[in-house]
Amino acid sequence: MTEAPGMNVRVEIAREASQEVIDAFARLLPQLSSTAKPLGHEAVDRMLTHDANTVLVARTPAGIVGMLTLAVLPLPSGLRARVEDVVVDTAARGQGVAGLLIEEALRIAHETGARTVDLTSRPDRGPANRLYERLGFRSRESTVYRFPLEGRTTGPTPA
């Protein structure tokens, strides 16, 4: 658990799909993505209990104001970590909450022995991208491919 001195923000691992955590997902995810769908108890519980995931939440006395997911995966190229779905409530942005979340994720990834930590961010998320660079992330020359599975009834069609 990480606490910010003087900020009254505490970062901790979400361990159970409490109503507070489910409500935080429902409130925060639409601030990250306009295509986010509400997650029920089962989906949140699956995320929180999956061996590869660590879901971090940033908490103030008023409640959860931010979250991220750290996925750590053993791959043939080594133990790798990814930070996904970093979101801070609009009212709490600019106060260092995302930085606290990322720093805790980096600490956990380092403790697990991960070789690298990757994250992706849309180019239009200027403040977030500047934060990631300030924290030491470096842009990589890469092409990200995505294959949409949602709504599909069969596997990929040959080209």
Q: What is the pLDDT of residues 83-128, one digit of tens each?
A: 999 999 999 999 999 999 999 999 999 999 999 999 998 888 899 9
> DSSP E strands: which ranges in the chain?
2-4, 9-13, 53-60, 63-75, 78-88, 116-119
- Would the pLDDT of 151 be above 90? no
**Global confidence as pTM:** 0.87
User: Which conformational region is residue 57 in: left (phi greater than 0), alpha (psi within -120 to 50 degrees), or beta?
Assistant: beta
**Rounded mean pLDDT, 52-63:** 96
Output 55 or 6, whichever has higher pLDDT: 55
CATH superfamily of 2-134: Gcn5-related N-acetyltransferase (GNAT) (3.40.630.30)
Q: State the chain's mean pLDDT as an integer.
A: 91
* Whether pLDDT at 156 is above 80: no
Q: Give the dihedral of Cα atoms 42, 48, 53, 54; nearest 10 deg.
A: 160
Query: 56, 29 in Cβ contact below 8 A?
Result: no
User: Tokens at residue 41, please?
Assistant: 């108890």
Q: What is the pLDDT of residue 153?
A: 75
